[in-house]
Amino acid sequence: MSAHFLADTSVLTGRSMRHIFRSVDTIITTAITPIALMLLFVYVFGGAIRTGTGNYVNYLLPGIMLIAIASGIAYTAVRLFTDLQGGIFERLQSMPITRSSVLWAHVLTSLAANGLTLVIIVGVALLMGFRTSAGVLDWLAVAGILALFTLALTWIAIIAGLSAKSFDGAGGFSYPLIFLPFISSAFVPTDTMPGPVRWFAENQPVTSIVNTIQALFEQRPVGADIWVALAWCLGILVVAYLFAAKVYRRKIA
């Protein structure tokens, strides 16, 4: 069964990736808004924001990457919804393939597409002056956290794609996720915020993830933030996966 699952998932992932490479504008579009925000905050607002760091783009980049991921997973939901509406699922289910491989193909495509978007954003950040003393292990840790965050949000996107009633509804769920980094430590330190907002910012998943990535880039001790970030990502991933599997079984029953 596992061999069939891997083979089926590989074939279906290749199909999804071909769609991505035939419309590279999807990746570019996903990267444009985060890059525009990075340019805006660094060159317009950066001089008025005090973060305690000498280079604001260094402080800002982790939050921008999370916004890019939250934007990118909307396309996963839309692609899944399009396949459902186009009858692709019915055709695939009539073939001798592992049923779960259909969803995992979309998940792996999301990881690859978001990874390409993040590479573009880091490249622009380097042109804007982003510098880090992070070593190979630090970068691997950053990549691992971002991949885990992408996986968690992608399974939420799977739920949206399976449940949506319209094309707009499939991608619309991502808007609250995109704005979540704005109420976190991604743009300004949380101690500058008023009481209730500060409490929310310090107790939502984005802040711990941003703090961890910032610490890794600066080679500072990550402290408890990394464990909080991993707990949030794994918790969201498990719950979203279980719920997505339930919705999928109901959809194809």
Are 180 and 70 in contact by the 8 Å Cβ rule? The answer is: yes
Q: Is pLDDT at 45 greater than 50 in this prediction?
A: yes
Q: Is pLDDT at 100 greater than 90 in this prediction?
A: no
Cα Rg for the chain, rounded, in angstroms? 19
What pTM value is reported for the model? 0.89
Are 120 and 27 in contact by the 8 Å Cβ rule? The answer is: yes
End-to-end CA distance of the chain: 20
Domain ranges of the chain: 2-252
Of 221 and 173, more confident:
221
Q: Which residue has the tokens 């002056």?
A: 129
Task: Note the residue count of the chain.
Answer: 253
Q: pLDDT value at position 204?
A: 93
> What average pLDDT does this structure show over 145-150?
96
> What average pLDDT does this structure show over 42-52?
75
Question: pLDDT digit string (tens) for 56-88?
Answer: 899 999 999 999 999 989 888 888 888 777 766
Q: pLDDT value at position 51?
A: 67
> What are the residue ranges of helices labelled H in 23-99?
25-40, 56-85, 88-93
Average pLDDT, the chain: 85
Say which residues have a Cβ less than 8 Å from residue 202's Cβ, sequence separation at least 6: 185, 190
Tally of CB atoms within 10 A around 46: 17
Say which residues have a Cβ less than 8 Å from residue 75's Cβ, sequence separation at least 6: 26, 30, 110, 113, 171
Of 49 and 201, more confident:
201
Q: pLDDT value at position 1?
A: 45
Q: Is pLDDT at 10 greater than 90 in this prediction?
A: no
